[in-house]
Amino acid sequence: MSGAAFAAGLVAAAAASAGQGGTAVRCPALDPLGPAADPDLYCIDLVHAPGLPGASGYVELTPPPSPFGASVTADGHHRFDLTLHAAGLPDPAALGDYTGYVAWATTPRLRPVRNLGPVANGRTALDAVDLDKFLVLVTAEARPNAPAWEGRIVLRGTSAGMRMEPEDLLAVTGMVSGADPPPPARGWTRPSMHPSVAMMPGIGRLTPPVDPFLPSAAVPPLPAAAPLPAAAPLPAATRQEIVRLGDGGTLDLEAGLVRRTINGRTLTMYGYNEQYPGPLIQVPQGATITVNVTNRLDLPTAVHWHGIRLDNRFDGVPGLTQDSIAPGETFQYRIHFPDAGLYWYHPHHREDVQQDLGLYGSLRVDASDPAWLGPVNREQGLMLDDLLVGGLGGAGAEDGGDVHLIPFGRDRATHALMGRFGNLLLVNGEPHYRLTVDRGEVVRFFLTNVSNTRTFNLSFGGASIKVVASDIGKFERQTWVESVVIAPAERYIVEVRFDEPGEAPLVNRVQAIDHVYGNFFPDGAVLGVVTVTDRPAAPDHGASFRELRNHPDVAADIDRYRDAFDRPVDHHLLLTLEVDGLPDPLEPLLNVDRSFFNPVEWSGTMPRMNWVSTADRVRWILRDLDTGLENGAIDWRFRRGDVVKIRLRNDRGAMHAMQHPVHIHGQRFLVLSRDGVPNDNLVWKDTTLVPAGSTADLLLELSNPGRWMLHCHIAEHLEAGMKLVFDVAAGPPPGRR
């Protein structure tokens, strides 16, 4: 019998034995208000072998401690700590010449096989597993340290990923078709298929039900604009400049059209001050600056100062804190910076279009304490992005070879299901990042994910990585990681030491899913290269780099809130989805594919299915489980000084469950736990990643009065409604509840 057939037999056995054994222990039912992850994805029921009806058990999958919203290996495999609960295991000697029980993990091919350790009745913590599809076996063994099972199988079960089989899809759709689709309608250009994934039949003929939009180089001069002759070529975008401002400083920031040359092709895009990315604004902690933003675009705009706990009227949300800045108009922002750290700025009007076309820039707030960060040889800011273009070739390419932008929806967003995954990865607006360092140099990287939807898993060619800080400051303590998982809008400050001469690639390594044939496959991309010379670094910061520093100043700040960690949850939010009117065959395909969702959708492997889903047919939802209200109908009211506990649950039962990077404006929060596991290394955040089927408990400190937004930072999910507004009154705080 093949490994795949054996695995399929386990699934059938699980179904056949459901409900047997009145005292059987099984995965607990989902508590929609509870802290645990959805057992459908993160728990494995174990089925007893024939002749052992009294044996039962289940295995919990929980993410191990991590500074990130998801725990994965450097190659992108999700990592889980396993805990086995067993009952009714008989004396192993009664089954033969055995001395105990051992748990195993293996793939559908039954290789490799991993010994997870000895087990018994009750609760047993097992070794971690980083397999995408796997089986868990419990066997009676004579040798507990055997490299593979030799004894009798007593219990067995399969991970949720094993349910993803090609037959499910092909039964509905028929065989995958290679027929040429008709030309796209209304000036659209179809995105190319992922080179490793076939297109499902019927999808190729579809076009989004909205007119396409791309910025035009022929926009006439605007009424208030400094004169730019209508026939003059657009300015070429230049590299990001550093603007250092002290308290009381002023910056004029202009959003306008620029020319970008990528892979030899000139594209019309957007930029701040004709730069791509926009200027890096560097200020001291405690400073207040003025930024005069002038709109030279062909769309209304506004600027959101992401992560800054600033005056509400300058938060940059049209319709909530200000009117949109119309073409030709100027708006003055006054921004106070109370917290040291790394922040960024971007539009909050059709950011699915404007941000993706280049309107983003970085903010660095220097701490008043010069020793806030340790010594390094150099600092580098990396803004991580992707861009959806045609002309790169790949499966189903129809576009003749010239690099060009895939249009956006004019009146509403396309890609509303999964977000607009790009197929060209960028660092600081360029497809090929380059850096040269000396051997042994320690480089501090300021990482910001500015993409519409992509979560990155970055590594530096095996170089050691130390995580120092995130959104709004430092962690309680520094920690080593294999790779950096960074969701849209998140920031991380990491230090990397390059010990070996040669080339260290900056790589995004993930495991993508082929939804047609039900397979995982590696999907890596090199974003750039760090060239390491043979010349020794001077000075040598190796000793300080090897030290993992504790940050007592951070712990002391958080200490003021620890008595609230175990308080009851104040608000429960469900993150879910409704669809209505998606064209055939999308809805049947999505209904079939509900059997499994990866905790994180790492790669755009369904570009055409995703492309035709628009924000009028897809509704992403924040649902208050305590009141039943959704999105804009939610009415949360607080007072300045309140501390509020919020539980986020990402609905695994949604038609197409996805991860959500949840952002809260103008405040800061702590991620207290994930899937019921307490977080023992805290940092102040404004954005956190919630994988599909997972929960996260947040402790939100309300420090700023005003009307503020909470939303998913996948731009297309925001455009499809996934947002709420809460009020913080300015009166004297009533004290901590």
Residues 710 and 692 in one domain: yes
SS3 248: coil
Residues 361 and 257 in one domain: yes
Mean pLDDT of all residues in 678-683: 97
| Domain-embedded: residue 415 | no
- CA 621 vs. chain centroid, Å, equals 18
Taking residue 560's Cβ as centre, other Cβ atoms within 10 Å add up to 11
Model pTM score? 0.92
Q: What is the DSSP string of 172-186?
A: HH-SPP-PPPPPPST
Q: What's the pLDDT at 597?
A: 86
Q: For residue 269, which of 219, 225, 338 has the smallest C-alpha distance?
A: 219
Complete edge-to-edge strand list for the sheet that includes strand 433-439: 433-439, 519-536, 502-514, 456-460, 484-486
Task: State both tokens at 620.
Answer: 């992403």
Q: Which residue has the higher pLDDT, 294 or 394?
A: 294
- Please check the confidence at residue 586 and state whether its pLDDT lies above 90: no
Q: For residue 382, which of 513, 477, 540, 491 has the smallest C-alpha distance?
A: 491
Number of domains in the chain: 4
Structure-token match 């405040």, residue found: 667
Q: Taking phi first (over 0 means left), then psi (-120 to 50 degrees means alpha), and beta for anything else, what does residue 347 get?
A: beta
How many Å apart are CA 42 and CA 8, to the nearest integer? 19
- Please check the confidence at residue 396 and state whether its pLDDT lies above 80: no
Mean pLDDT of all residues in 360-375: 95
| CA-based R_g, the chain, Å | 26
How many Å apart are CA 592 and CA 172, to the nearest integer? 8
Q: For residue 378, which of 246, 505, 497, 536 has the smallest C-alpha distance?
A: 497
| Domain-embedded: residue 737 | no
Residues 715 and 576 in one domain: yes
SS3 336: strand
Q: What's the pLDDT at 21?
A: 42
SS3 342: strand
- Please check the confidence at residue 478 and state whether its pLDDT lies above 70: yes
Task: State both tokens at 440.
Answer: 């042994």
| Domain-embedded: residue 220 | no
- Please check the confidence at residue 467 and state whether its pLDDT lies above 90: yes
- Please check the confidence at residue 434 and state whether its pLDDT lies above 80: yes
Residues 524 and 567 in one domain: no
Complete edge-to-edge strand list for the sheet that includes strand 265-272: 265-272, 250-262, 288-295, 330-336
Above pLDDT 70, what percent of the chain?
89
Task: State both tokens at 400.
Answer: 């003749």
Q: Alpha carbon of 364 to those of 341, 343, 428, 444, 456: distances in Å?
A: 6, 6, 15, 13, 21
| Domain-embedded: residue 701 | yes
Q: What's the pLDDT at 228?
A: 47
Residues 518 and 650 in one domain: no
- Least confident residue range of 207-211, 326-330, 432-436, 473-477: 207-211
Q: Taking phi first (over 0 means left), then psi (-120 to 50 degrees means alpha), and beta for anything else, what does residue 7 get?
A: alpha
Mean pLDDT of all residues in 428-445: 97
- 499-541 pLDDT per residue, tens: 999 999 999 999 999 887 888 999 999 999 999 999 999 999 9
- 539-573 pLDDT per residue, tens: 999 999 999 999 999 999 999 999 999 999 999 99
- Least confident residue range of 307-316, 582-591, 705-714: 582-591
- 398-419 pLDDT per residue, tens: 555 678 899 999 999 999 999 9
Residues 566 and 536 in one domain: no
Residues 356 and 258 in one domain: yes
Residues 367 and 289 in one domain: yes
How many Å apart are CA 465 and CA 472, to the nearest integer? 20
Residues 520 and 430 in one domain: yes
Close Cβ partners of 139 (under 8 Å, ≥ 6 residues apart): 101, 102, 104, 149, 150, 151, 152, 153, 154
Sign of the alpha-carbon torsion through 609, 610, 612, 616:
positive
Mean pLDDT of all residues in 680-684: 97
- Please check the confidence at residue 150 and state whether its pLDDT lies above 80: yes
Question: H helices of 604-703, where?
Answer: 607-611
| Domain-embedded: residue 574 | yes
Mean pLDDT of all residues in 585-613: 82
- Please check the confidence at residue 226 and state whether its pLDDT lies above 70: no
Residues 151 and 31 in one domain: yes
Q: What's the pLDDT at 581?
A: 86
Mean pLDDT of all residues in 294-311: 97
Q: What's the pLDDT at 393?
A: 62
CATH classification at residue 146: 2.60.40.10
Close Cβ partners of 624 (under 8 Å, ≥ 6 residues apart): 571, 572, 573, 630, 634
Q: Quick one: 604 exposed, middle or buried, by C-beta within 10 A (0-12, 13-18, 19+)? A: buried
Q: Quick one: 622 exposed, middle or buried, by C-beta within 10 A (0-12, 13-18, 19+)? A: buried
Contact indicator for 604, 195 with CB cutoff of 8 Å:
no
| Domain-embedded: residue 307 | yes
Q: Which of the four pLDDT bands, split at 50, 70 and 90, describes residue 275?
A: very high
- 700-729 pLDDT per residue, tens: 999 999 999 999 999 999 999 999 999 999
Q: Quick one: 410 exposed, middle or buried, by C-beta within 10 A (0-12, 13-18, 19+)? A: middle
Q: For residue 304, which of 686, 705, 615 has the smallest C-alpha distance?
A: 686
- Please check the confidence at residue 22 and state whether its pLDDT lies above 60: no
Q: Which of the four pLDDT bands, split at 50, 70 and 90, describes residue 585?
A: confident
Contact indicator for 641, 733 with CB cutoff of 8 Å:
yes
Residues 574 and 708 in one domain: yes
- CA 17 vs. chain centroid, Å, equals 38
Q: Alpha carbon of 207 to those of 181, 216, 404: distances in Å?
A: 11, 22, 18
| Domain-embedded: residue 181 | no
CATH classification at residue 343: 2.60.40.420
Q: What's the pLDDT at 422?
A: 96
Q: What's the pLDDT at 626?
A: 96
- 124-134 pLDDT per residue, tens: 999 899 999 99
Task: State both tokens at 710.
Answer: 């909470």
Contact indicator for 386, 451 with CB cutoff of 8 Å:
yes
| Domain-embedded: residue 206 | no
Q: For residue 662, which of 677, 647, 645 has the smallest C-alpha distance?
A: 647
Q: What's the pLDDT at 163?
A: 87
- Please check the confidence at residue 9 and state whether its pLDDT lies above 60: no
Q: Which residue has the higher pLDDT, 586 or 327?
A: 327
Look up the domain containing 478 and give its range. Answer: 380-388+423-551
How many Å apart are CA 368 and CA 284, to the nearest integer? 7
Mean pLDDT of all residues in 264-275: 94
- Please check the confidence at residue 594 and state whether its pLDDT lies above 60: no
Q: What's the pLDDT at 229?
A: 45
Q: Which of the four pLDDT bands, split at 50, 70 and 90, describes residue 59?
A: very high
How many Å apart are CA 501 and CA 358, to the nearest integer? 34
Q: Which of the four pLDDT bands, split at 50, 70 and 90, describes residue 165?
A: confident
Residues 252 and 274 in one domain: yes
- Please check the confidence at residue 733 and state whether its pLDDT lies above 80: no
